[in-house]
Amino acid sequence: MRKLWIDTDCGSDDAVALIMALKSDEVQIEGITTVCGNVPLDLATKNTLMTLEVTNKEMPPVYVGASKPLAKDLITAVNVHGQDGMGDCDLIHPTIGPEKRHAVEAILDIVKKNPDEIEIVTIGPVTNIALAIMKSPKTMSKVKRIYSMGTAGFGRGNTTAVSEFNVYVDAEAYSIMLNSGIPITIIGFDVCLGDAALNKEDMEMLLNSGVKEAVFSVQCNKSLLDYNLKRSGEHIVDLPDAVAMGVVLWDDIMTDRVDCYCYTCIHEEKAYGQVILDDGAVLAVSDGFVSNEPNAVVCKSIDNDLFKNRMFELLLK
């Protein structure tokens, strides 16, 4: 069975992704690490623990990680996900606690014990991953693959015109991860929109199911729904982290992928957090990748219907 390790800044879309992974019979969740991002670290940890309790499927250990980015102040997304990151619906009252060991130590330990077997799923800023790489690059070279919900993909950013939130929070960490030599699959924000999002009928179906995890998945995304209604008038909940988890669980939902050389902008103020994706196309002033080798596989499109059908199967299970 595949061995997954999930690194999360648990907000409302992270919660749906966690529920999917926990309820899947195809993977073993070896552990979960929390990081600041959508919300400050203490809330990310509480939200993760509450999601585990709601799911009540398996209880992997939870380890607390970085409380701030590597080189800048924390920027959160509480304006999108609510002050508690989970819709401000008074859902978060965990009765269990995290492990005492630090997240970075836990990551390095699990990789040492399972060389070339651990697949890390990052659904938040990658500060913990970068710290682990800096502390022991030799150990982290034994990670089987990293799946990253990050970058704007080949589309527009959701935090600045060119930057996606998970990268923007800690672009220095993302650069370290991309340059680590670890096999990486990137699921960008561009493939998480449109028909991949929950619509009004989807949400009503989940709420009316009476299944605890399905109801929780809609309720915790109330602030995100309100944000989208105010922003665009659309009755939708986009779930980037759930889409990324779908790619992790079901490789066949990816309908197009491409090897890319990916460069993270960390020095350019206006472009901070942008990840430039070079797919090696021959251009007017360059010929393919030139001197750069591809360092990630980038998901370009998914089968939205297949993804949602399988997600619903897990949430309603």
The pLDDT, as a whole number, for residue 33 is: 99
**Helix locations, 141-239, DSSP H:** 165-169, 171-178, 200-209, 212-219, 222-232
pLDDT tens-digit readout, 191-250:
999 999 999 999 999 999 999 999 999 999 999 999 999 999 999 999 999 999 999 999
pLDDT over 90 at 255, yes or no: yes
- Sorting pLDDT into bands at 50, 70 and 90, what band is 259? very high
How much helix, strand and coil, in percent to the nearest 5, is found in the chain?
A: 40, 20, 40
Average pLDDT in the chain: 96
Helical (H) or strand (E) element with 276: strand 275-278
Q: What is the CATH number of domain 2-315?
A: 3.90.245.10
- 71/36 Cα distance (integer angstroms): 13
Residues 6+ apart with CB under 8 A from 141: 180, 181, 182
Tell me what the mean pLDDT of segment 183-189 comes to: 98
pTM reported for the whole predicted model: 0.97
The pLDDT, as a whole number, for residue 289 is: 72
Tell me what the mean pLDDT of segment 174-184 comes to: 98
Buried b (16+ CB within 10 A) or exposed e, 98-115: beeebbbebbbebbeeee
- 36/24 Cα distance (integer angstroms): 26
198: β partners: 237
Helical (H) or strand (E) element with 62: strand 62-64
